[in-house]
């Protein structure tokens, strides 16, 4: 994502790994740690039969509070924003290269269809909480937002921020709905587990979409200003976003965190309000983390030590590493495999999540050293740009034949 708006995209349609900007890749690599620890913690809770797992003491309660204040609903907003950022950069590059808006929308939607397919397979085979299909649906449904003006873009986004998060909070706290969803637990049969994931996919996907449109829109807005590619030109905005957003997310997540740790027991509108505040301030946290990492990228400059290279390599292969995490959950946590979820404490599950993330960092860095792209990224790129290359070749053929 480091090409200027006027540059034509490479023949493959993607930007070579050695020409990509550091900040977006570093952000993805670091925030996969947040997602890994959140997922591990959720699996631990699910092992308690779909309800909050009994807390083992002060340390476990503190772990739950910390995760709700600083991690849960704070990682995915950043990824949705970076997804919007990436799509917007594709749109800007290809329009600048002479492609029509309808051609670019077709390419974006083709990318979305492939992401929905990958996400559905991810759900069927591995993990109930897929977001790849969610982002694919956003590409299909909201590709038109890539070329509207800033005012209309942000009005659309803020509407989704208010109404989408409220709907999610209500659905997630209404007893009749949560009781219906209590079947989403760790089952002892691989077949039953697959069926459960398939049945919850049509419910989980729209719910996650409702909370992902706003950060997607913010990512599109940020891409138009190259905030992550040229962070050195936006230091004031990035500092305000980081140093106000992260504390706001922590404070806003505190009531819901206390309720999750059973230190406070709200009911009715109080519970819904706490959940809604948790989601709303989660956006501030996700944007704040992205801004903080962008500031770190400015400080690093051209320095690329082994740790930074490994984290950036993980971000460059974020979809592959995200899928590899799901393989880890399947092997480690399911009752029909190692069944660690039912035997770990809250802090233990978080540490296992961090270890799974670290394993993916090592794998991604090994790919970097051998010059290998992530297999999931290769598949998505091939599916996205194959049609575009075919259309370009056909146009060139017609031009040469005088048609």
Return the structure tokens found at 331.
Answer: 């092997």
Write out pLDDT tens, residues 319-348.
999 999 999 999 999 999 999 998 999 999
Give the per-residue pLDDT at 9.
40
- Asked if residue 93 lies in contact with residue 5, where contact means CB atoms within 8 angstroms, the answer is yes
Give the integer Cα–Cα distance in Å for 244 and 32: 22
Q: How much is the CA Rg of the chain, to the nearest whole Å?
A: 21
Give the per-residue pLDDT at 240.
98
Q: HSE on the CB side for 315, CA within 13 Å?
A: 28
Find where tokens 């946590």 sit. 333
Return the structure tokens found at 154.
Answer: 């942000």
Return the structure tokens found at 82.
Answer: 């970076």
User: Greater confidence, 271 or 181?
Assistant: 271
Return the structure tokens found at 5.
Answer: 């708006």
Going 54 to 57 to 59 to 62, the CA torsion angle's sign is positive
Give the integer Cα–Cα distance in Å for 390 and 396: 10
Mean pLDDT of 106-119: 97
Mean pLDDT of 350-371: 98
Write out pLDDT tens, residues 196-238.
999 999 999 999 999 999 999 999 999 999 999 999 999 999 9
- Asked if residue 380 lies in contact with residue 87, where contact means CB atoms within 8 angstroms, the answer is no
Give the integer Cα–Cα distance in Å for 89 and 319: 18
Write out pLDDT tens, residues 49-98.
544 444 567 888 999 999 999 999 999 999 999 999 999 999 999 999 99
Quote the pTM value: 0.89
Give the per-residue pLDDT at 56.
60
Give the integer Cα–Cα distance in Å for 54 and 300: 43
Give the integer Cα–Cα distance in Å for 146 and 128: 30
Write out pLDDT tens, residues 246-283.
999 999 999 999 999 889 988 889 999 999 999 999 99
Average pLDDT, the chain: 88
Give the integer Cα–Cα distance in Å for 349 and 38: 9
Give the per-residue pLDDT at 334.
95
Give the per-residue pLDDT at 135.
98
Query: 10 Å Cβ neighbour count for 92?
Result: 21
Q: HSE on the CB side for 372, CA within 13 Å?
A: 11
Give the per-residue pLDDT at 10.
42
Give the per-residue pLDDT at 96.
93
Give the per-residue pLDDT at 132.
97
Write out pLDDT tens, residues 132-149.
999 999 999 999 999 999
- Asked if residue 285 lies in contact with residue 77, where contact means CB atoms within 8 angstroms, the answer is yes
Most confident listed range (15-19, 153-157, 390-394): 153-157
57: left (phi over 0), alpha (psi -120 to 50) or beta: left
**DSSP character for 189?**
-
Give the per-residue pLDDT at 227.
96
Write out pLDDT tens, residues 293-327.
999 999 998 888 999 999 999 999 999 999 999 99
Find where tokens 């829109």 sit. 217
């Amino acid at each position: 994502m480091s090409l200027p708006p006027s540059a034509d995209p490479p023949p493959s349609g993607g930007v070579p790994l050695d020409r990509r900007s550091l900040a977006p890749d570093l952000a993805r690599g670091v925030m996969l740690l947040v997602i890994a620890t959140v997922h591990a913690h959720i699996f631990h809770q699910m092992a308690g039969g779909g309800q909050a797992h009994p807390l083992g003491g002060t340390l476990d309660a503190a772990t739950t509070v910390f995760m709700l204040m600083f991690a849960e609903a704070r990682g995915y907003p950043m990824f949705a924003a970076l997804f919007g950022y990436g799509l917007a950069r594709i749109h800007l590059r290809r329009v600048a290269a002479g492609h029509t808006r309808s051609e670019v929308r077709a390419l974006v939607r083709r990318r979305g269809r492939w992401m929905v397919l990958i996400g559905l397979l991810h759900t069927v085979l591995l993990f109930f909480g897929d977001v790849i299909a969610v982002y694919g649906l956003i590409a299909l449904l909201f590709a038109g937002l890539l070329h509207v003006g800033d005012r209309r873009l942000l009005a659309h986004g803020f509407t989704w921020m208010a109404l989408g998060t409220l709907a999610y909070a209500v659905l997630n706290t209404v007893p009749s709905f949560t009781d219906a969803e209590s079947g989403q637990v760790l089952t002892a049969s691989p077949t039953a587990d697959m069926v459960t994931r398939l049945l919850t996919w049509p419910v989980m996907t729209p719910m996650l979409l409702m909370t992902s449109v706003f950060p997607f829109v913010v990512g599109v807005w940020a891409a138009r200003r190259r905030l992550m590619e040229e962070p050195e030109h936006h230091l004031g905005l990035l500092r305000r976003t980081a140093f106000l957003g992260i504390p706001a997310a922590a404070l806003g997540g505190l009531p819901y965190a206390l309720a999750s740790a059973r230190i406070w027991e709200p009911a009715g509108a109080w519970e819904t309000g706490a959940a809604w505040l948790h989601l709303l301030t989660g956006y501030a946290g996700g944007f704040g983390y992205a801004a903080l990492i962008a500031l770190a990228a400015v400080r690093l400059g051209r320095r690329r030590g082994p740790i930074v290279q490994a984290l950036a390599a993980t971000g460059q292969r974020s979809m592959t590493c995200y899928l590899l995490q799901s393989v880890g959950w399947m092997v480690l946590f399911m009752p029909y495999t190692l069944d660690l979820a039912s035997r770990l404490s809250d802090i233990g599950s978080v540490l296992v999540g961090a270890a799974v993330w670290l394993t993916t960092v090592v794998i991604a860095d090994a790919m970097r050293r051998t010059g290998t792209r992530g297999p999931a990224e290769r598949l998505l790129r091939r599916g996205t740009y194959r049609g575009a290359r075919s259309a370009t070749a056909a146009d060139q053929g017609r031009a040469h034949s005088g048609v």
